[in-house]
Structure 1
């Protein structure tokens, strides 16, 4: 076995012509360069398997298939991780071989491979120790510049850039990064490869010291500066961060000119006082990024031509700020105010706003909600509207309830309807075809009310079995559940399914009016006046809803009645669905497409160990509300129904992110009354200040058009509208505690009015929280140490607050890192960690869902829309799911989002530096859970739950 394993997968002779993408090279331990040939990996893997499993004919056939798949996975991982550097170090290749063996659960082969690597490393160290220590000069390596000229490699500058990147960051070492970087240097290295080498070096150190994530980001900045400055000034340029203190002022006007000439930036930006604007830029804020955040911006947000970025981070934030200030009277002042809020990470606008503000097509809104009519013209207009709205990065929620059900009569042809499902298939395929302008995958969610006769087929849409023509594998789905259904479930009563063309009024009714009309429809059906209907046991349908949610991740559970009974705009319409992420609750109709404009307050920036900084929070919210209101007027609308609705009602959705970080900064456990209380206090403060800010905007700019008759005009604020739900249900379990002066605010709202029909909604913030380097939305942490995969690559993520707490108690060391890997980022099973830290840093599946629901209920009482609330369950069962969702309903939640259930997971132990070599079964669930869940469902007839951060799901900010 040792002889076979001693064949290095990069040193074996080639047996065929299979190789990696042309241009990739391998750096061996002695510094020699050779072409990368993936066939050598195949040979080494084949020999290793034969040594463990034998060489019979049956075994050989099986091994051949396994090796082919493993080799493809290894090459894909290598080329993805090194797409820019185009070189691999031998250790990187071996890391990937080891990881692939573990992921595929070939434990015996993997164990032997790890032990062999450890033994060979020890032998090399012993051999090196025997050699005489000679002082040798630094080799005179050369490099190739952008024009292909060979020039001396500038070690002095490399040392300067690395030293600058580590400056002021505790626990980091410039010499250690330089040492790691030198492993990937070779004679003739390209300028791009030289820029990537120290980044890759710093990334390997993140797990031992989270501050290396900032080091990696600063090193990426150096690469970006060279790229952007060279493009803008049309000559080879590079600059250190120290240089940028002076160079941003020179660069910024040239950047604006470049963007306008490229037909990307709005020419109106050139009419700002660019000298004043440039002088307000804060270059030092480039240094606050974590690597994941900056790499995400680099890959998908910064403007580029022919894949050459010409937008630096502070120019990016200023461009967005200027784009949002275009209609302001004092626009330089406002642009600088907006810039300071964004660039400080106190608040972050949503992804469409960041993508498009200041550009020629400023589609800045996040979410669009539509109602689909019951005829072919209306249905295909709805599909076309989806395409137009998705083109510029909008997330979509479609209300399909009006479309008649399977078997319904079609008067025009005297035929029978095929129901709603075939049209959902068309909408599904449209979302894939129109991939948001090539920037991210199109995303749409279909909603259907629980009384629709096609509801049972609707529940099956995401199944992997059955007629594929009646499946929508890419579309999200959600149940729009009336309170009456939940009451029938509790009573174990019957539930009747109807086709909407027979009961057209049900679609627009809620509360007691819905109950009256529904019961009349049941009477009509019994009397034979309605022919197409079906009776089911309510509990059986509820169980199927939960079963499909568990197995496929869909449809989500959302509640129609609280969304409408608490809607400020019930005087001018009905909320027929939510959006893609279940936080938007706005009216839709044939004439109005609801639009919402999102952004999120970063709680981390407003919390200290002593609690919430309410004064700073009030200032942030005031500016943020102005920015969001500006979106309504600046926005590029792709369909008239969206423009009409947005200008008439002017809804915005201010949310939060970094909730768990804020708790941990205060040493508060998520599973505690203190966490629920903080959710209440923080959301009350945000709600109070957002409503106040909207009244100030109304005073300055005027009320929104449909204000008269709204709940606002009647002095009914979100906290007051809870009683509407309580009256309709005969009670609701929601806390009513108030701390601020709501009497004064209520008087102000009724006398001055509101600028915005809706103010608050908590979105998932999956991407913008990465940019800011904080935890997502209101989520508990999935793990404290893991490898995150998204469209920008693989990133080691460590909970810096945990590391800080462990350092404070002298517990952070290599053993602790090894333990965290072994226990999949969980601290609960590590004996050395004190109990108080175990509760504070508990991960998502260690937090009982009742705490998430309780905190969400406290927030919901202050929110005029809803919140994207994921629910976690470590030990799923029908009884547990039933209890969770009934609790969510009884505590007054308007919507829920994904159900996340635990799969067999573990941290990638081989690619993280300092592994202890333990070979647990490694599943990618912790890294890309959606793929792992699907695999498990197929293997065990288990479940399919969407990812914690599905890299293809970019709909949530």
Structure 2
């Protein structure tokens, strides 16, 4: 489609001023013209441009004019507000930025024909300007100056800027230094500040990412220049800078100064200064700074790198070495181990969890990811638990609280001869505590409350996240999860009644599972029928289930998790009970009054361990062996904020090795997610991870000794995770799950019995959202959200393009401006783009195009190998009660232990514009606050909302 001559003329023609909305010029703001001139910003000119675009498409009738007037007024107000809100690094806009916002507003308002005409007009004018420029000798641009902090004007070093951009493009296919340079110069003006000058090429490269994914690496390399200037200047105490090419000669001296600076400013543990720093510095690999995509490096800058007063002094390879040194503190040859750990982290083959990256090698090394507690049924115990939440969350721990012991609404209180208000008022306090303790601003304090389905307060618990009702009985910031026993699912299948109890009258139910729970539960029902219980209620199981699913979709909570498989398959059932999972539903560890469960996480980058032929077992074994040593070291080095956590962690020594980049690995192997082959790969890959992980723990036990509570565990009886599947099948009377295996489990089983295990639990698949961003791979076991979209997180909004898809489209001659436009129009989906071949549509199908039953089938194959659980998000494009019912019943039948978020589409999807100026905060390298995107209702759904997949406040999105 091309813009007609008539439409082009209409857009260019003068229009009656009576129909143009004319807001006043915006005082204090200025526009940078294409020739570098600066003029005052005037919102009325936006209204004129919008009006011309509408009239060009809709005609010039009186009726059209009246309609256009109203639409233009509203759009202009939105655009002006958006521009001024984004002007956080200066009060200047380039003319192209303003036009980008006009285009964006048209698409958001669903004025697609007008937007298309406007886009084509812009492209036509750009071509005309380019032709005119090449036809005539352009006059020499005036020399630009930079204004320093003291107001001094100095010559802008254009030669260095050009050299920097050229260096940032070296070795990358499909990128052009000239394109970045031209785009960067649009944002330059006489008197520009140094911080704006540093930002200009970064923003320039970012605008090009949607057309060529390698510009994400260009953007990262340009950001590296700013980071180098900041870090080198801080550590040397004078203005300093270096190019990437100069860093091999600079990194060693910088590293020694960095450690000294960190110790002096109490950001680094003084013990790190006692390492052989020259030996470690010689092992640094500066070229690995070039691996980052922009999203990964910006995330590290905003949230991970050490700083003093907001000034970062930690470069990427120093960061990885600091973490490695922190994990090697108690090794015999700690320099050798630090280098080994550094090499694994900096290669992106494995990445430690966020708390470990935050705090390793610092004076307060709280390195653990997850803490699980059980709340007692007394006032002292309840408030001590809330206090423990605050202490655990302070240093970046995610929390799971079991509230099933606390008596229900209406239960008798002996001390006051009154009636209990139930768990909800206390949950409100816990919710507010999580808000107050926000982990030093690095990420929100996060907690998940668990409640068993038989608890008297379960119906009020389901309502906690609703936006209606008494706000004093709502917890808008706390995650919630159902802890569902098998007996409930069996009653549901039989369409039977279900009885709710208060735990003060039925305390034994809390610790019982399987047949023992069934016997006790039925005995309590008989007691209730005889009038021996004061507080109970009968409901139809199907009615309660329907309400659970309805609230899950309407509010995103409570999640559905299953008590019996978590306990029956637990290696540690001989010393306790699993009463809940954690914040992200992948941890299944025992809790009691004396023990707060702790887990230490890290994830293998699966993409780095596959070739076109399949898994690279040798590389995977090396990675897992080193990673397990690192995770085991966390237990001894860790800073424990409460004694119950230390006692539990040292006694059982659990760790959780997981995976990420599963979708990327499938695409590298050319396997569509929705296929039997992908399910088989999920089985094969997790079997390999499980085998090597258990073997590594046995090796550590041989070197360091068994964990103290090993005797009596399933491990000690030779029952590995694959064997515990039969225990669940026996308890249920059968289990519909493939039990096949391919590796030599008999010999490994014999070693486990003979030598023992170093760790009571070894595997858990966490969400990995942030560390996946760092490594530039897909999150955890998730399918791709979209192939082109704007991702929101605490560092801002970022354009994300599926680089593998772009490579495939290029090979088939299909990657062009039209494909970019089509991807944006169809929300990152290929399914409606006719010219894309079917094999690519299947391979790059997005999360909402894949039946979630495939996710469950793949998860079930993984679960048989995992001694803990996995964070499993489910995606519903067009939800219905029947679909949700079938999905969650399937998860239970397949023996899954837990599920995580139920995801729906947002009301607005991909930004249907050029994305220039929308793919991040204008202040791209600040760590200021980011406005949270709301959880929005799927406009196609008839009955509510689930968690929006692009909600930056959601833990899984971080």
Provide the TM-score with structure 1 as the length reference. Answer: 0.92
CA–CA distance in structure 1, aligned partners of residues 45 and 678 of structure 2: 54
**2:551 pairs with 534, 545, 548, which one?**
548
Note the C-alpha offset of 1:946: 1.7
Contact 1:370-1:589 within 8 A present in 2 as well: yes
Query: 1:700-757, CA deviations, whole angstroms, 9 ceiling, x for partnerless residues?
Result: 1111111111111111110000111111100111211111111111111111111111
Match of residue 575 from structure 1: 578
Contact 1:443-1:955 within 8 A present in 2 as well: no
Match of residue 93 from structure 2: 88
Pair 1:75-2:76 in alignment: no
1:346-495 alignment runs, 5 A limit: 346-495=349-498
Note the C-alpha offset of 1:123: 5.3
Distance verdict in 2 for CA 1:56–1:845, change over 3 Å = closer
Contact 1:786-1:908 within 8 A present in 2 as well: yes
CA–CA distance in structure 1, aligned partners of residues 854 and 202 of structure 2: 40
**1:219 pairs with 222, 228, 243, which one?**
222
Match of residue 936 from structure 2: 934
Note the C-alpha offset of 1:805: 1.3
Pair 1:27-2:32 in alignment: yes
Pair 1:608-2:611 in alignment: yes
Match of residue 280 from structure 2: 277
Contact 1:680-1:859 within 8 A present in 2 as well: yes
Match of residue 165 from structure 2: 162
CA–CA distance in structure 2, aligned partners of residues 359 and 249 of structure 1: 20
Provide the alpha-carbon RMSD of the alignment.
Answer: 2.9
Pair 1:253-2:256 in alignment: yes
**1:98 pairs with 95, 98, 103, which one?**
103
CA–CA distance in structure 1, aligned partners of residues 817 and 606 of structure 2: 32
The 3-state SS of whatever aligns with 1:136 is: coil
Contact 2:932-2:952 within 8 A present in 1 as well: no
Distance verdict in 2 for CA 1:729–1:331, change over 3 Å = same
Note the C-alpha offset of 1:113: 6.5
Note the C-alpha offset of 1:559: 0.2
Query: 1:612-653, CA deviations, whole angstroms, 9 ceiling, x for partnerless residues?
Result: 000000000000000001111111111111111111111100
CA–CA distance in structure 2, aligned partners of residues 419 and 157 of structure 1: 67
Match of residue 183 from structure 2: 180
CA–CA distance in structure 1, aligned partners of residues 14 and 728 of structure 2: 68
Quick check: 296-305 or 492-501, which moved more? 296-305
The 3-state SS of whatever aligns with 2:262 is: helix
Contact 1:5-1:116 within 8 A present in 2 as well: no
Pair 1:195-2:204 in alignment: no
The 3-state SS of whatever aligns with 1:534 is: strand
Note the C-alpha offset of 1:93: 2.3
Contact 1:866-1:894 within 8 A present in 2 as well: yes
Distance verdict in 2 for CA 1:617–1:146, change over 3 Å = farther
Note the C-alpha offset of 1:775: 0.3
Contact 1:73-1:100 within 8 A present in 2 as well: no
CA–CA distance in structure 2, aligned partners of residues 371 and 41 of structure 1: 59
Pair 1:844-2:847 in alignment: yes
Contact 2:101-2:917 within 8 A present in 1 as well: no
The 3-state SS of whatever aligns with 1:424 is: helix
CA–CA distance in structure 1, aligned partners of residues 756 and 62 of structure 2: 77
Match of residue 953 from structure 1: 954
Distance verdict in 2 for CA 1:64–1:173, change over 3 Å = closer
Distance verdict in 2 for CA 1:411–1:277, change over 3 Å = same
Contact 2:874-2:902 within 8 A present in 1 as well: yes
CA–CA distance in structure 2, aligned partners of residues 237 and 495 of structure 1: 70
CA–CA distance in structure 2, aligned partners of residues 817 and 127 of structure 1: 23
Quick check: 607-616 or 146-155, which moved more? 146-155
Contact 1:345-1:772 within 8 A present in 2 as well: yes
Match of residue 4 from structure 2: none
CA–CA distance in structure 2, aligned partners of residues 632 and 42 of structure 1: 62
Distance verdict in 2 for CA 1:268–1:591, change over 3 Å = same
Quick check: 47-56 or 167-176, which moved more? 47-56
Distance verdict in 2 for CA 1:160–1:486, change over 3 Å = same
CA–CA distance in structure 2, aligned partners of residues 249 and 417 of structure 1: 64
Contact 2:327-2:338 within 8 A present in 1 as well: yes
The 3-state SS of whatever aligns with 2:574 is: coil
Distance verdict in 2 for CA 1:397–1:47, change over 3 Å = farther
1:755-904 alignment runs, 5 A limit: 755-904=758-907
Distance verdict in 2 for CA 1:55–1:814, change over 3 Å = closer
Distance verdict in 2 for CA 1:138–1:956, change over 3 Å = closer
Contact 1:929-1:948 within 8 A present in 2 as well: no
Query: 1:548-600, CA deviations, whole angstroms, 9 ceiling, x for partnerless residues?
Result: 11111111000000000000111111000000100000001111111110000
Note the C-alpha offset of 1:40: 7.8
CA–CA distance in structure 1, aligned partners of residues 436 and 548 of structure 2: 29
Contact 1:553-1:943 within 8 A present in 2 as well: no
Query: 1:233-267, CA deviations, whole angstroms, 9 ceiling, x for partnerless residues?
Result: 11111111000011001100000111111111101
Contact 1:822-1:906 within 8 A present in 2 as well: no
The 3-state SS of whatever aligns with 2:717 is: coil
**1:133 pairs with 101, 120, 136, which one?**
136
Pair 1:510-2:513 in alignment: yes
Match of residue 726 from structure 1: 729
CA–CA distance in structure 2, aligned partners of residues 386 and 903 of structure 1: 32
Contact 2:656-2:764 within 8 A present in 1 as well: yes
Note the C-alpha offset of 1:898: 0.7
Pair 1:685-2:694 in alignment: no
The 3-state SS of whatever aligns with 1:576 is: coil
Note the C-alpha offset of 1:931: 4.7
CA–CA distance in structure 2, aligned partners of residues 312 and 114 of structure 1: 44
CA–CA distance in structure 1, aligned partners of residues 42 and 283 of structure 2: 51
Distance verdict in 2 for CA 1:950–1:386, change over 3 Å = same
Pair 1:501-2:504 in alignment: yes
Query: 1:754-775, CA deviations, whole angstroms, 9 ceiling, x for partnerless residues?
Result: 1111000000001000000000
Q: How many residues align?
A: 931
Contact 2:497-2:538 within 8 A present in 1 as well: yes
CA–CA distance in structure 2, aligned partners of residues 130 and 4 of structure 1: 21
The 3-state SS of whatever aligns with 1:641 is: helix
In structure 1, runs of 5+ residues without a counterpart are: 916-927
CA–CA distance in structure 2, aligned partners of residues 768 and 53 of structure 1: 57
Match of residue 921 from structure 1: none
Distance verdict in 2 for CA 1:42–1:403, change over 3 Å = farther
Query: 1:837-878, CA deviations, whole angstroms, 9 ceiling, x for partnerless residues?
Result: 111111111111111111101100000000000111222111
Match of residue 647 from structure 1: 650
CA–CA distance in structure 2, aligned partners of residues 625 and 6 of structure 1: 70
In structure 2, runs of 5+ residues without a counterpart are: 1-9, 919-929
Query: 1:154-182, CA deviations, whole angstroms, 9 ceiling, x for partnerless residues?
Result: 22211211111111111111111111111
Contact 1:367-1:394 within 8 A present in 2 as well: yes
Contact 2:404-2:451 within 8 A present in 1 as well: yes
Distance verdict in 2 for CA 1:130–1:761, change over 3 Å = closer
Distance verdict in 2 for CA 1:929–1:71, change over 3 Å = closer
Distance verdict in 2 for CA 1:830–1:728, change over 3 Å = same
Note the C-alpha offset of 1:144: 3.2
CA–CA distance in structure 1, aligned partners of residues 884 and 741 of structure 2: 32
Pair 1:909-2:873 in alignment: no
CA–CA distance in structure 2, aligned partners of residues 418 and 818 of structure 1: 56
Contact 1:398-1:444 within 8 A present in 2 as well: yes
Note the C-alpha offset of 1:348: 0.3
